[in-house]
């Protein structure tokens, strides 16, 4: 997907030090764009970006720091979020809701608005249903800090952008995988030498989405007229079960870890019991098993991307096999200290 029509010096990326944001920045730079990056810690930026990006030090939780980042930008890619699977509600709220509010307020204070605000949401806003959803489904708070806050952040974005007359696109990715994925790193370690949970035989759709395929859609959403003021699920076209994903990744890594399979009700009960003391003690340490993990592995993540396809969005350029192979190479490179992507 080309970024040729984007002004080379007027693209803002939040969350550049994260997984998705980092891949987006790499693509923009490769295509001749000098993106502006809003970051809290410049020390976490990749050395390869030096002198090829404009760095603005700021924080979504500090409204006063955001004006330089949004001044004279034509496109905003809002990738920053608190994406942890275990955390405190107020911490998710600070970034995923109030951070959106602060960013939009800073944009509203500028003399002109961006041509497009591309907002990364999540399919968690459907609340982990048993059957796949499209964009017409009722949104339901899933009952966990990340998904609940992302739902409120998305609703805030759409309402405020409509009031501001700020053109926007909301993207709801499924489970984003590929080289650099914290999820691949976490699961890979367990498959190599640890203990990995599989729920109800791993029959649920994993909602596998390669990160490069998501970046394709993000670049399209920044420019396509049919994406303006629209909401799209983003998923790879091929359904991949959790069983297939775990088997393929384990095989690629020559893993010797154990996979324990539990029926969904048993896994849910075990998770509730294990997480209970952690919640009572309000600890930041994540338990080995908790209910969000069971929902991810036990409910469908394979939501419909039919609306995106009908609108002409790019889908599935990187195949599942290519993505798994690249993920395995990346994982092995991290272990050997090469750090290759």
Give pLDDT tens digits for 123-179: 999 999 999 999 999 999 999 999 999 999 999 999 999 999 999 999 999 999 999
Reported pTM: 0.94
Contact 113, 165 (CB under 8 A): yes
Structure-token pair, residue 150:
């992302």
In this structure, how many other beta carbons lie within 10 angstroms of the beta carbon of residue 281? Answer: 9
Give pLDDT tens digits for 166-222: 999 999 999 999 999 999 999 999 999 999 999 999 999 999 999 999 999 999 999
* Confidence check: pLDDT of 340 > 50: no
User: Burial code of 125-137, b = ≥16 C-beta within 10 A, e = fewer?
Assistant: bbbbeeebbebeb
The arithmetic mean of pLDDT across residues 241-245, rounded, is: 97
pLDDT attached to residue 335: 83
pLDDT classification of 339: cutoffs 50, 70, 90: low
pLDDT attached to residue 50: 87
pLDDT classification of 336: cutoffs 50, 70, 90: confident
**Separation in Å, CA 138 to CA 75, 106, 132, 220, 300:** 29, 31, 12, 26, 16
The answer as to whether 184 is a domain residue is: no
The arithmetic mean of pLDDT across residues 44-71, rounded, is: 94
SS3 assignment, position 85: coil
The answer as to whether 188 is a domain residue is: no
Contacts of 44-47 with CB under 8 Å at 24 or more apart are 44/17, 45/16, 45/17, 46/22
pLDDT attached to residue 324: 98
Helix axes 291-298, 264-280, angle to 10 degrees: 150
The answer as to whether 241 is a domain residue is: no
* Confidence check: pLDDT of 338 > 90: no
The answer as to whether 80 is a domain residue is: yes
| The total number of structural domains that make up the chain | 1
pLDDT attached to residue 230: 98
* Confidence check: pLDDT of 9 > 90: no
The arithmetic mean of pLDDT across residues 46-63, rounded, is: 94
The answer as to whether 333 is a domain residue is: no
Q: Which of 56, 157, 152 is nearest to 108 (CA)?
A: 157
Give pLDDT tens digits for 253-311: 999 999 999 999 999 999 999 999 999 988 889 999 999 999 999 999 999 999 999 99
The answer as to whether 325 is a domain residue is: no
Q: Which of 106, 47, 48 is nearest to 76 (CA)?
A: 106
In this structure, how many other beta carbons lie within 10 angstroms of the beta carbon of residue 299? Answer: 20
What is the CATH classification number for the domain harbouring 62?
A: 3.40.50.720
DSSP conformation class of 137 = S
pLDDT attached to residue 8: 60
* Confidence check: pLDDT of 73 > 60: yes
Contact 242, 318 (CB under 8 A): no
Supply the range of the domain harboring residue 57.
11-176+208-236+302-317
The answer as to whether 119 is a domain residue is: yes
The answer as to whether 66 is a domain residue is: yes
Q: Which of 95, 111, 304, 313 is nearest to 222 (CA)?
A: 313
pLDDT attached to residue 341: 46
Biggest CA–CA distance in the chain, Å, is 59
């Amino acid at each position: 997907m080309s970024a040729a029509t984007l002004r080379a010096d007027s693209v803002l990326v939040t969350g550049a030090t994260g997984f998705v944001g980092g891949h987006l920045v790499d693509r923009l730079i490769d295509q001749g764009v000098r993106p502006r990056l809003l970051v809290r810690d410049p020390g976490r930026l990749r050395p390869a970006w030096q002198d090829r990006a404009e760095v603005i030090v700021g924080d979504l939780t500090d409204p006063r720091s955001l004006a330089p980042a949004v001044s004279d930008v034509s496109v905003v890619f809002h990738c920053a979020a608190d994406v942890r699977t275990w955390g405190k509600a107020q911490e998710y709220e600070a970034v995923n809701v109030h951070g959106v509010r602060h960013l939009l307020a800073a944009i509203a204070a500028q003399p002109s608005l961006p041509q497009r605000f591309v907002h990364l949401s999540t399919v968690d806003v459907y609340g982990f249903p048993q059957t796949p959803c499209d964009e017409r489904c009722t949104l339901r708070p899933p009952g966990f800090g990340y998904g609940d806050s992302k739902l409120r952040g998305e609703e805030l974005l759409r309402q405020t952008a409509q009031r501001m007359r700020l053109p926007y696109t909301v993207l709801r990715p499924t489970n984003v995988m590929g080289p650099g994925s914290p999820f691949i790193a976490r699961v890979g370690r367990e498959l190599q030498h640890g203990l990995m949970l599989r729920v109800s035989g791993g029959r649920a759709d994993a909602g596998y989405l390669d990160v490069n395929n998501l970046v394709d859609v993000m670049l399209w959403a920044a420019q396509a007229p049919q994406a303006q003021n629209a909401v799209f699920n983003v998923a790879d076209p091929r359904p991949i079960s959790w069983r297939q994903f775990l088997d393929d990744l384990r095989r690629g890594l020559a893993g010797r870890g154990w996979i324990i399979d539990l029926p969904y009700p048993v896994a849910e009960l075990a998770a509730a019991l294990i997480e209970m003391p952690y919640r009572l003690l309000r600890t930041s340490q994540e338990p080995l098993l908790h209910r969000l993990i069971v929902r991810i592995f036990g409910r469908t993540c394979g939501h419909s991307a039919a609306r995106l396809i009908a609108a002409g969005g790019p889908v599935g350029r990187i195949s599942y096999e290519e993505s798994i192979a690249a993920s395995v190479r990346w994982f092995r490179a991290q272990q050997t200290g090469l750090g290759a992507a």
